[in-house]
Amino acid sequence: MNSSALATIKEISDGILFKSGIPEAKGALIDQLTRDGYRELNLNVLPDGRVINLFTMDTNLIIPFPDDLIEIKDIYVPRDNQIWSLTRRTLIPKITVLENGSEIIPEDWGGGDDIPDGYGTYFETKGGRNDLGYYEVDDARRRILFRNMSRSEVMLDYVSTGINKTEETYVPIDAKAALESYVMRELSAFEVIAVNRYTLHNKRYQEELAKLRMIQFNFTAFTDATYETICSSVQR
């Protein structure tokens, strides 16, 4: 990929080596710190870390985490040509067992069948019902379990590490200064460079984070969201 709006991790790491005068022997350390810094930016600041993709669950209504997943933001299915959030149900059993070489959900733990929502009339009606489905996150096994689903494909909205382990990782150029400041701060914290420079590099890093957050702020999107909440009031 050739774009002036992007830089590779290697280009940023090499630039830090060149500008700081740090010996090339520290190149591997700087490369690792640059990757750590990019993960942190994706988690907290950059929209580039937000990934939305389609995934298909297996016969047990389970989807394994994508390798690059840090945090799940939401899970959607289509409804009326738009997207509809599924509801998290923490009471869904996170249990599968091996039977005759196959992974199954035990029958005495529901067997993967739908959860009865319960119905009522007027004041007996229960809230929190989602007629398009429920999910639960099994962090220990890095997977998502579903129930009451009428479809096997869902849209997963999550925060990614942004790091590609098999191909070159590209970083938006507006994050370059923040990454440089992060690396210099960490080098100071690990006493690779003078410890008394930590405060200076941390101050610069916070300033660069503030700039990035302002770049992400979109006034048009803000006003659109505000107008969407406005409705006509009762005429007096």
Q: Does residue 236 or residue 48 have the better pLDDT?
A: 48
Q: Look up the pTM and report it.
A: 0.75
Q: What is the pLDDT at residue 167?
A: 79
Over residues 203-222, the pLDDT tens digits come to 999 999 999 988 766 555 55
The pair of structure tokens assigned to 175 is 């994050």
Q: What is the pLDDT at residue 126?
A: 62
Q: What is the pLDDT at residue 83?
A: 95
When computed from its CA atoms, the radius of gyration of the chain, rounded to whole angstroms, is: 24
CB atoms within 10 A of CB 65: 18
Q: What is the pLDDT at residue 218?
A: 57
120 pLDDT more than 60:
no
34 pLDDT more than 90:
yes
Count, in order, helices (H) and strands (E) of the chain: 5, 12
Q: What is the mean pLDDT of the chain?
A: 88
How long is the chain? 236
Q: What is the pLDDT at residue 66?
A: 94
Over residues 146-194, the pLDDT tens digits come to 999 999 999 999 999 888 777 788 999 999 999 999 999 999 999 999 9
